[in-house]
Amino acid sequence: MSEGLLIIEDERLLGSELKRHYERDGWEVHLAPNLQTARRVLVEDDAEPLVVIADMNLPDGNGLDLLEEAKKKHIPGEWILLTGFGNIPDSVRALRLGAYDFVEKPCEQSRLDLIVSGAERSARAQRRLQEQANASRAQYDPESFIGRSQGAAEVRSLLEKLARAPFSALVITGETGTGKGLAARILHHSGARAEGPLVELNCAALPRELLESELFGHEAGAFTGARQRRRGLLEQAHGGTIFLDEISELELDLQAKVLKSIEDKRIRRLGGDREISVDVQIIAATNRDLETEARSGRFRTDLYHRLSVFQIRLPPLRQRLDDLQDLVPTFIAEFNAKAGKRVKVVPQTVWKKLQAHQWPGNVRELRNVVERCVLLAETEQFPAEWLQLGPLETHTSEPEVDGDRVWLPLDGSMALDKMERFIIKTALERHGHNVTATARALGTTRETLRYRVQKYNLTPEVETGRG
């Protein structure tokens, strides 16, 4: 009866009329004359009807009591309550318990049909969301952090423990491509907030002006272009989780606001005059060493300590090469399914190359390599010619200086601002920290260079060799 309608009505004539009417409309209808029968249908038979039409006053109790019991047992479906003598306390209780509507008898059939139709649409939407949530839970459980190495096993164990812990905030650290986003989704979908939303934001993807509006929302007229009210991501994540990737990219003043929202569980929209309560679990991620960033003043110490109460460190792929034996077949199966390929055999020459590579882009780089090879494969054999790993095998994920040239990884393992800082620092050292000479070599002005020097905290080195 998962697609059906349950009618709980002790008035025999009314119940029979409603049953016939909705059966003519194509519903599978079950009629229960009392709470005992309805309870057996809902609880013991696991019927899960889409819509329940229940009389409030039944011979063996109140329909609201059964509604409350159904909600506690997480039995899906929308409830429409009927009563011959409605009162305000009952209507308030019905809405508080999540009833779709509260209707006084007698009710015109056409009006009841509209209410039932709306309840059906709502119930189907909720069912789709529940199915998506169940699929996400199956996809993102701790076992989905694949690998047989000790490092992978330790991460899985920690994810299992933290998924059961009611934490308010934690931080995931690791190089780019190690699976920080996967770990965040596992924590959400395996935890107590799995029924709530998961909202994700890459803090490095937006300029500072847009980031504040994205996080906290704004009222109409708060700034040029703000034509209407907008709920921020923290507000949208109420009851669930917000994943702040690359949190180290937040400006210090925004870090302070994020800390306040964690501590107070309240936010204020831009241009707003009142605070809004939010119940949000915050998962932050960064590819930087936050402790070093905090000591240097580039990250707020108080926010660092608030986030690092719980911390997950993800090892780079080069430290868990044993996991290639599990990751490669998993990715091959994924892209076989997507592209209609049938790659099955991985030659030993391919395994040797995969084991010898340093994987500066970590699991993300491996996934991209496997995708390319599977998509271009013409037989069941994994094509070694499309690995294209040779030039990268002599490098790590760190930038390097080779004579008058700077080598920078372009595989996503290094953020843009980190590249810029490395270039400026290298140029300053090459020119004895002479600002004028360095600016000339970089093709920029002294003022622009001084701004970058302050931005990347290179000032102490420059002050000793100003020119």
CATH tag for 317-392 (out of 1.10.3720.10, 3.40.1080.10, 1.20.1440.230, 1.10.8.60) = 1.10.8.60
- Sequence letter at residue 206: L
Instruction: Tell me if the domain spanning 5-136 has CATH number 3.40.50.2300.
Output: yes
Other CB atoms within 10 Å distance of the CB of residue 291: 15
CATH tag for 144-313 (out of 3.40.309.10, 3.40.50.300, 2.60.40.150, 3.40.50.10800) = 3.40.50.300
Asked if residue 399 lies in contact with residue 409, where contact means CB atoms within 8 angstroms, the answer is yes
Residue 218 buriedness (CB in 10 A; 0-12 / 13-18 / 19+): buried
| Nearest by Cα to 46 from 61, 34, 59, 30 | 30
Q: Where are the domains of the chain?
A: 5-136, 144-313, 317-392, 415-463
| Nearest by Cα to 426 from 445, 405, 457 | 405
Q: Rounded to whole angstroms, how far apart are CA atoms 100 and 428?
A: 67
Other CB atoms within 10 Å distance of the CB of residue 292: 10
Residue 3 tokens read as 């697609």
Same-fold call for 144-313 versus 317-392: no
| Half-sphere CA count of 208, side-chain side, radius 13 A | 9
Asked if residue 282 lies in contact with residue 168, where contact means CB atoms within 8 angstroms, the answer is yes
- Sequence letter at residue 38: A
One digit per residue, pLDDT tens: the chain, 467 residues? Answer: 567 899 999 899 999 999 999 999 889 999 999 999 999 988 778 778 999 999 988 888 888 899 988 888 878 889 999 887 766 777 778 777 888 888 888 889 999 999 999 899 888 887 876 777 666 666 788 999 999 999 999 999 999 999 999 999 999 999 999 999 999 999 999 998 988 889 999 998 888 878 999 999 888 887 877 777 788 899 989 889 999 999 999 999 999 999 999 999 999 988 888 888 899 999 999 999 999 999 999 999 999 999 998 999 999 999 999 999 999 999 999 999 999 999 999 999 999 999 999 999 999 999 999 999 999 999 999 999 999 885 444 445 567 776 667 777 776 667 777 888 888 888 888 888 888 888 888 888 888 888 888 888 886 443 333 44
DSSP codes, 365-430: HHHHHHHHHHHH--SSB--GGG---GGGTT--SS-EEETTEEE---SSSS-HHHHHHHHHHHHHHH
